[in-house]
Structure 1
């Protein structure tokens, strides 16, 4: 197996630049997730690693090889797509072994590798079936099995769970995590779903408009975001953001909450506009009349209150336990200032 290194990688379509000098190192055996909103360049970046998109500038290495100008078949990668791309007239066994058959591998070797992939993915009962007789999750496992039998240095997953329903997505997340633990391969996974990123990744790469916003372990990005974009993208529900201003007495006034708080960071000058961020799970609902609850989503062990401030700003607050605030109730909110984040109102960079 091998790691992947991107060095000042650029992608242009004509005069339009979509990837802007990306530098990234993915260690051997690491599970790296590219995450970001639609159009951020995550799939383009993966396709450049695969060789399906030409690299305009920069260098891509897999292991100790420069693969920047190599054909996809020479790079030692295998890709699992959003669509299963299975041959409908072939059985599961034939689909999984087809790539090796086309490259002239002996039948015995193909059979052995398909059997091993089938064992790992628990596909033995389905080897004689054709794709039409499989569920969506089973088809995706066959597509993953087809990648495994090739014995690649790097596995690439391009939003492989997008076509599955919610229950199957959870099941397949577990399957992919188990697969990584079993074979220890380097894996790059693209998704717009930050829950998938948080649950699967050793390393998350947050992308926006073709640039890396931050790289780190899931909980590091959750606890220590560099800017408002990363803070809002990582975490579900998203972090609440409220307009605020630095006061002369070294506090931060938050008009939406009708309060001032002493946030333990180095504050800019008094009168500076800032953005205060606080996660829904770090806010407590208390008796008061500062805000109005518009809607409550009761999900069993947890509920989410959707709250509108008199300023027009909206917040989401998580409640646990048996008590639930009813819609229309007037409440106040409290939180530990040490759990709050401050961001520059202009640059959106974190104030630490």
Structure 2
């Protein structure tokens, strides 16, 4: 297996640049997830690695070899798409081995590779079925098996779970994570779902508008975001943001009044506009009447209370209390200033 390196990679469509000079190193055996909103360039970047999109500028290397202008078949990659693209008239066994058959591999070798992939993916009982007799999750496992039999240097996944229902998505996340552990392959996975990214990745690449915002391990991005975008994108429910201004060494807010800028090392300039970021689990419901509960999501072990601050700002609070789902009650809110994040209101950059 091999790593992937991108150096100053750009992509233009006509006069419009959609990927802006991306530099990235994906180590051998890593599970790297590209995550970001629709249109951020994550699928385009993946397709450039695969050779399905031509690179406008920069260099792409796989296993130390420059493959920037190599044909897709010569890059040593296998791609799994959102759609399964299985041949309906072929059995699972035939679908998985078809690529090897077309490339002239011996029949015994094809049978051995298909059997090994079926074992890894627990497809043995399904090998003689046709796609119409399979569930969505089973079809996606066949598509993954078709990639495994090729023995690629790098696996590329382009939103492979988007067509599955919620229960199957959870099941397939576990299957793909188990597959990665078992075969120790280099995998690059594209998704817009940050829950998938957090639960599967060794390394997350957060993209916005064709640029990398931050790269790191899932919990590093959660605990130490570089900017407001990453802070708001990573974590579910999303981080709350409250507007404020520095006055007298504290941040004055309409929602909470004065807040000490405890985690910020250097004194903040007087009059600076900032935003305070608060995770839902950092907020505590208290006795009081300063905040109105708009609605409550009682999920059993946890409740998410959607509340309005006196300033009109909307907040989500994680609590173990069960509240009236219709809302309407008044509560107080409190938090430890050490749990807050501070961001420049103009640039969105983290204030440390």
TM-score class, shorter: over 0.9
Superposed, 1:63-74 pairs within 5 Å as: 63-74=63-74
Report the Cα offset of residue 251 of structure 1: 1.4
1:256 aligned residue: 255
Query: Shift of residue 268 of structure 1?
Result: 1.8
CA contact (8 A) 1:3 1:186 kept: yes
**2:88 corresponds to:** 88
Against the structure 1 CA distance between its residues 247 and 325, is the aligned structure 2 distance closer, same or farther, given a 3 Å change threshold? farther
Q: CA deviation at 1:101?
A: 0.6
Question: SS at the partner of 1:351?
Answer: coil
Q: Distance in 2 between matches of 1:167 and 1:214?
A: 30
Match of 2:198 in 1: 198
Alignment correspondent of 2:58 = 58
**How far apart, CA to CA, are the structure 1 residues paired with 2:267 and 2:127?**
63
Which structure 2 residues correspond to residues 1-352 of structure 1 after superposition, within 5 A? Answer: 1-248=1-248, 250-265=249-264, 266-320=266-320, 322-324=321-323, 327-352=327-352
Where does the alignment leave 5 or more consecutive residues of structure 2 unmatched? none
User: Counterparts of 1:308 and 1:261 in 2: how far apart (Å)?
Assistant: 22
Distance (Å, rounded) in 2 between the aligned partners of 1:118 and 1:197: 26
Q: Do the aligned partners of 1:34 and 1:190 also contact (CA within 8 Å) in 2?
A: yes
Q: CA–CA distance in 1 between the matches of 2:147 and 2:104?
A: 17
CA deviation profile, 1:4-39 (whole Å, cap 9, x unmatched): 000000000111100000000000000000000000
Hey, what's the Cα distance between the residues in 2 that align with 1:324 and 1:312?
Answer: 21
Contact 1:281 1:317 in 2 (8 A): yes
The 2-side partners of 1:324 and 1:247 are apart by: 36
Matches of 2:30 and 2:210 in 1, distance apart?
A: 22
Please give the alpha-carbon distance, in whole angstroms, between the structure 2 residues aligned to 1:72 and 1:264.
48
SS in 1 for 2:293: strand
CA contact (8 A) 2:250 2:258 kept: no
Figure out how many residues of one structure are paired with residues of the other and give that number. 350
Q: 1:291 deviation in Å?
A: 1.1
Contact 1:251 1:263 in 2 (8 A): no
CA drift at 1:256: 1.5
Contact 1:241 1:278 in 2 (8 A): yes
Which stretches of structure 1, 4 residues or more, deviate above 2 A after TM superposition? 257-264, 322-326
Judge conservation of contact 1:246–1:267 (CA < 8 Å) in 2: no
Q: Which consecutive unaligned segments of at least 5 residues does structure 1 have?
A: none
State the distance in 2 between where 1:140 and 1:262 align: 49
Question: Is the CA contact 1:202–1:217 (under 8 Å) kept in the aligned structure 2?
Answer: yes
Q: Deviations 1:299-332 (Å, cap 9, x if unpaired)?
A: 1111100011222210000012x54366111112
What TM-score do you get using the length of structure 1 for normalisation? 0.98
Contact conserved, 2:291 with 2:309, CA < 8 A, in 1?
A: yes
2:227 and 2:348 in contact (8 A); partners too: yes
Deviation at 1:267, TM superposition (A): 3.4
The 2-side partners of 1:296 and 1:83 are apart by 37
What is the alpha-carbon distance in structure 2 between the residues aligned to residue 237 and residue 49 of structure 1? 32
RMSD across aligned positions (CA): 1.0
Which range moved further: 33-42 or 283-292?
Answer: 283-292
Per the TM alignment, residue 247 of structure 1 is displaced from its structure 2 partner at its CA by 1.6
Q: Tell me how far apart the structure 1 counterparts of residues 201 and 263 of structure 2 sit (CA, whole Å).
A: 30
Q: Write the distance in 2 (CA, Å) between the matches of 1:46 and 1:130.
A: 30
Q: What is the CA distance between 1:260 and its match in structure 2?
A: 2.9
Instruction: Verify the 8 A CA contact 1:60 1:66 in the aligned structure 2.
Output: yes
Shift, 1:194, TM fit: 0.2
